Amino acid sequence: MQDQHIASAFDRDLEAIQAQIMKMGGLVENAILEAAISLETRDEERAERVRKGDKAIDELEELINEEAARVIALRAPTAVDLRLVLSVIKVSANLERIGDYAKNMGKRTSVLSQMAPVNDSAGALRRMAKEVERMLKDALDSYVARDAELAQDVIDRDTEVDQMYNALFREFLTFMMEDPRNITACMHLHFIAKNIERMGDHVTSIAEQVVYLVTGTTPDENRQKADKTSLQA
Amino acid sequence: MQDQHIASAFDRDLEAIQAQIMKMGGLVENAILEAAISLETRDEERAERVRKGDKAIDELEELINEEAARVIALRAPTAVDLRLVLSVIKVSANLERIGDYAKNMGKRTSVLSQMAPVNDSAGALRRMAKEVERMLKDALDSYVARDAELAQDVIDRDTEVDQMYNALFREFLTFMMEDPRNITACMHLHFIAKNIERMGDHVTSIAEQVVYLVTGTTPDENRQKADKTSLQA
């Protein structure tokens, strides 16, 4: 009976932390979309709200870390339970980084709004961001449901994001060569593209946590990395 | 007596993990320097060794994570002890990211070696990398010695790295505008500069962990972020 009490107290604690993770995830999803829309519509005020909103995301990460440490100290979980508590620390760290990238996108929107638009680049970036936001939603759903299959699906979809980034990298190079007046804008747009691609990496890392939690093994470490631009001449 | 036994067993465990952290830190320091030298000397084989060496860094992170989980499960540390064990997870995650950036630098070296050098950019990047490597060394020393003063010094020095990055960003823009044939090389060089700047952020994050461990409070969260290029038109 005593054991059962302890177990369910732990479960309640864990559920409470996971609720905070979902709250944090919701804020981050929103930040990705809002940052992308601000960029496309050249809406500086909206971008400013994304920048300011990052504080709440950072605070949630700190809170989740404290809660996780408290649960470990109080319940002394072992084996799978411990793995679960440690995973919230990793997942919240990934969410915090994604939030940072969205914030950085918000900053660059203020600069880019002062410059002439470069083709439909902002639209392409918004579509790429939307894809990452969908992946994040599924990664968090897979986390709560301990659904390794959905998590693996998220991991596979990151290849598409990498391919979108590759195409944009080539496009920006072309725009810069065609007209040097595009150079500054393209540098910023390229950074945004790279940051969205990195968001995808962090989403993938969350999904990999899920696979590890459910199956006890890390997903294929040698998966093809589809961002080839660092090898591009 | 029993209590003392448990305490010293925990201390031994913790020291063993910290030794692994120092080993990992040594590999990462070496990767930063080697990547920077390969770039400057256009030495593709040396760059290739950096890329391959990242595997050992990743494996150490996994090992450290497993060891930390084992110690938590076995010793059920609380309060300060728990904080110490959790810090190794954070520090090793930071080291792993820095290693990734060095690996990426190694990849780009292969591409850049095929192109004409852009002024002394590679030398400037090597100096910037050297500064980050020194910061990392001090951050790890401060971690082992629990030296909050040295850690704060590392945090302060990150401003210089940010300033070096700002100067390079402007330089690369100028080179690209002067001669469009520089554009592709400058895109890669710029990425390397940004990656070194990000390495500095991760070193800072390690130093912040030290301040938190020693003083129990996070260093001033509102410190001036000196990379202003995202606001640059």
Token duo for residue A176: 């810069």
Rounded Cα distance, B119 and B185, in Å: 11
Q: Quick one: pLDDT at residue B1?
A: 44
Closest A-chain CA to B171: A184
Tracing tokens 């010094």 back to the chain, one arrives at B153
Sign for the pseudo-dihedral over CA of A41, A42, A45, A51 = positive
Tens-digit pLDDT profile for residues A202-228: 999 999 999 999 998 877 654 545 566
CB pairs under 8 A between A and B: 78
Domain boundaries of chain B, sorted by first residue: 2-231
Nearest beta carbon to residue A230 from set B69, B83, B108: B108
B93 interfacial to chain A (CB closer than 8 Å): yes
Q: What is the DSSP letter of A120?
A: T
Kindly compute the dihedral angle of the four CA atoms of residues A149, A154, A158, A159, in this order, to the nearest 10 degrees: 30
Closest CA to B91 of B206, B207, B231: B206
Closest CA to B68 of A39, A68, A218, A191: A68
Please identify every stretch of chain B with a pLDDT value under 70, giving residue numbers as ranges. 1-7, 220-228, 230-233
Could you give the angle at which helices A148-178 and A121-145 cross, rounded to 10 degrees? 170
Q: Quick one: pLDDT at residue A1?
A: 44
Token duo for residue A173: 């190079």
ipTM greater than 0.95, yes or no?
no
- The share of chain A scoring above pLDDT 70, in percent, equals 91
Tens-digit pLDDT profile for residues B176-219: 999 999 999 999 999 999 999 999 999 999 999 999 999 988 77
Tens-digit pLDDT profile for residues A157-194: 999 999 999 999 999 999 999 999 999 999 999 999 99
- The share of chain B scoring above pLDDT 70, in percent, equals 91
Other Cβ atoms within 10 Å of B122 Cβ, number: 21
Please provide the DSSP assignment of A147-189 as one string.
-HHHHHHHHHHHHHHHHHHHHHHHHHHHHHHH-GGGHHHHHHH
Residue A121: partners with Cβ closer than 8 Å, 6 or more residues away: A168, A171, A172, A175, A186, A189
Tens-digit pLDDT profile for residues A18-61: 999 999 999 999 999 999 999 999 999 999 999 999 999 999 99
Would you say residue A153 has pLDDT above 90?
yes
B187 interfacial to chain A (CB closer than 8 Å): yes
Q: Regarding the domain delimited by B2-231, which CATH topology (the fold level of the hierarchy) does it fall under?
A: Methane Monooxygenase Hydroxylase; Chain G, domain 1 (1.20.58)
Rounded Cα distance, A89 and A216, in Å: 18
Tens-digit pLDDT profile for residues A128-147: 999 999 999 999 999 999 99
Residue pair A125/A193 in contact (Cβ under 8 Å)? The answer is yes
Largest CA distance in chain B: 75
Contact B230 A183 (CB under 8 A): no
- In chain A, DSSP finds a helix count (H) and a strand count (E) of 6, 0
Q: Quick one: pLDDT at residue B7?
A: 59
Residue B56: partners with Cβ closer than 8 Å, 6 or more residues away: B27
Output the CA angle A43-A49-A52, nearest 5 degrees.
Answer: 140
Contacts of B87 in chain A (CB under 8 A): none
Rounded Cα distance, A109 and B211, in Å: 34
Nearest beta carbon to residue A176 from set B93, B114, B183: B183
Q: Quick one: pLDDT at residue B225?
A: 54
Residue in A187, A206, A222 to test binding to B, most B beta-carbons within 10 Å:
A187
A202 interfacial to chain B (CB closer than 8 Å): no
CA distances for B48 relative to A127, B31, B39, B186, B197, angstroms: 35, 11, 11, 21, 22
Q: How far is B231 from chain A (nearest CA, A)?
A: 6
Nearest beta carbon to residue A231 from set B72, B110, B115: B110
Sign for the pseudo-dihedral over CA of A141, A146, A147, A151 = positive
Helix (H), strand (E) at residue A24: helix A2-41
Rounded Cα distance, B29 and B27, in Å: 6
Rounded Cα distance, B180 and A178, in Å: 9
Q: Quick one: pLDDT at residue B100?
A: 95
Q: Quick one: pLDDT at residue B222?
A: 41
B56 interfacial to chain A (CB closer than 8 Å): no
Tens-digit pLDDT profile for residues A50-71: 999 999 999 999 999 999 999 9
* B135, amino acid identity: M
A116 interfacial to chain B (CB closer than 8 Å): no
End-to-end CA distance of chain A: 67
Q: How far is B157 from chain A (nearest CA, A)?
A: 22
Rounded Cα distance, B91 and B154, in Å: 15
CA A117, distance to chain mean position in Å, is: 26
Rounded Cα distance, B199 and A165, in Å: 22
Would residue A42 be called left, alpha or beta, if left means φ above 0 and alpha means ψ between -120 and 50 degrees? left
B78 interfacial to chain A (CB closer than 8 Å): yes
B178-187 long-range contacts, CB within 8 A, separation 24+: B180/A176, B180/A177, B180/A180, B181/B116, B182/B118, B183/A173, B183/A176, B183/A177, B183/A183, B184/A173, B184/A232, B184/A233, B184/B115, B185/B112, B185/B115, B185/B116, B185/B118, B186/B118, B186/B121, B187/A173, B187/A190
